[in-house]
């Protein structure tokens, strides 16, 4: 396969030069996760019982098709409730509306907190000593289920014409757009994750596996090796070779 030939090129074989496209091509990664609330579990959160990784160089439509197939294979049809957890990029919510319109939506807590830090620093005119307690109090309130109180407070912040004021205005608009995706306590009480750590860790593994020093791939080469990697991670490696 082209992917294996690409690997040979990296090992030092002399072949006709081909255009490397990895650095100029972005891949999209998503995960389908199964959770189960263990009986008697007192701490917030549930137990991840399954994780399927989907990666593609195509557009969001391609990612949605493949993720939906893997989700059905992993038990989506038996799920009592579903959640789409994203980092706030619009195409994720558009994909959700197209593929899983009944699913709940949640903004990843870490990405939301980053915007809260940006807002807090700008609102306190980059005074870190004032910004830290301001942000931490509101992060605690979000985690405790007081998101409506926090969002109302943000919506009433005064905006100046300064550079800091422009940041405040931008972040106010951001939180207004994400206001229906910040029910962190409610979601956590269901035993669902409120952070996109499983996806972030998969992206990190992709970086280490496919973007190491000296590595470069053609489109087809990356697609071939990526397919093999996903087959191994998603436990249908044997099925892949049996069908071949």
Average pLDDT, the chain: 80
- Could you tell me the sign of the dihedral formed by the alpha carbons of 120, 124, 126, 127, in that order? negative
For residues 27 and 194, what is the distance between their CA atoms, to the nearest angstrom? 24
What is the predicted pLDDT for the residue at 163? Answer: 95
Neighbours of 100 (CB within 10 A): 18
What is the predicted pLDDT for the residue at 60? Answer: 86
**What band does 242 get if pLDDT is binned at 50, 70 and 90?**
low
Bridge-based pairing of strands 28-36 and 47-56 is antiparallel
Model pTM above 0.95: no
Residues pairing with 31 in the sheet: 53
What is the predicted pLDDT for the residue at 99? Answer: 92
What is the predicted pLDDT for the residue at 126? Answer: 95
What is the predicted pLDDT for the residue at 8? Answer: 33
* Angle formed at CA 155 by CA 147 and CA 174, multiple of 5 degrees: 80
CB 116 within 8 A of CB 184: no
* Angle formed at CA 90 by CA 21 and CA 116, multiple of 5 degrees: 105
Bridge-based pairing of strands 47-56 and 104-107 is unpaired
Which region among 56-70, 118-132, 155-169 has the lowest average model confidence (pLDDT)?
A: 56-70
Which region among 65-69, 120-124, 194-198 has the lowest average model confidence (pLDDT)?
A: 194-198
Burial (Cβ within 10 Å: 0-12, 13-18, ≥19) of residue 93 = middle
For residues 211 and 205, what is the distance between their CA atoms, to the nearest angstrom? 10
What is the predicted pLDDT for the residue at 13? Answer: 41
What is the predicted pLDDT for the residue at 75? Answer: 82
pLDDT in tens, 15-74: 444 444 544 446 677 777 777 655 444 444 556 666 788 888 778 888 888 888 888 887
Any idea which residue has 């949640």 for tokens?
106
CB 34 within 8 A of CB 75: yes
């Amino acid at each position: 396969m082209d992917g294996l030939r690409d690997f040979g090129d990296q090992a030092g074989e002399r072949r006709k030069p081909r255009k490397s496209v990895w650095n100029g091509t972005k891949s999209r990664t998503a995960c389908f996760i199964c959770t189960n609330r263990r009986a008697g579990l007192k701490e917030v959160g549930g137990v991840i019982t399954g994780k399927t990784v989907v990666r593609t160089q195509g557009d969001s439509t391609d990612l949605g098709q493949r993720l939906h197939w893997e989700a059905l294979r992993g038990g989506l049809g038996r799920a009592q409730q579903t959640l789409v957890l994203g980092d706030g990029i619009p195409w994720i919510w558009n994909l959700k509306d197209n593929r899983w319109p009944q699913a709940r939506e949640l903004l990843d807590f870490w990405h939301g907190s980053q915007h809260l830090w940006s807002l807090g620093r700008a609102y306190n005119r980059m005074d870190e000593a004032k910004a830290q307690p301001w942000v931490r109090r509101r992060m605690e309130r979000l985690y405790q289920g007081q998101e409506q109180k926090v969002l109302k407070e943000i919506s009433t912040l005064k905006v100046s014409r300064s550079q800091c004021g422009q940041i405040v205005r931008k972040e106010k608009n951001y939180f207004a757009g994400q206001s229906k995706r910040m029910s962190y306590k409610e979601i956590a009480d269901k035993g669902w994750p409120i952070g996109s750590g499983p996806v972030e860790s998969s992206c990190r593994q992709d970086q280490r596996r496919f973007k190491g020093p000296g590595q470069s791939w053609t489109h087809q080469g990356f697609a071939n090796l990526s397919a093999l990697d996903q087959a191994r991670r998603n436990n249908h490696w044997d099925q892949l070779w049996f069908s071949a």
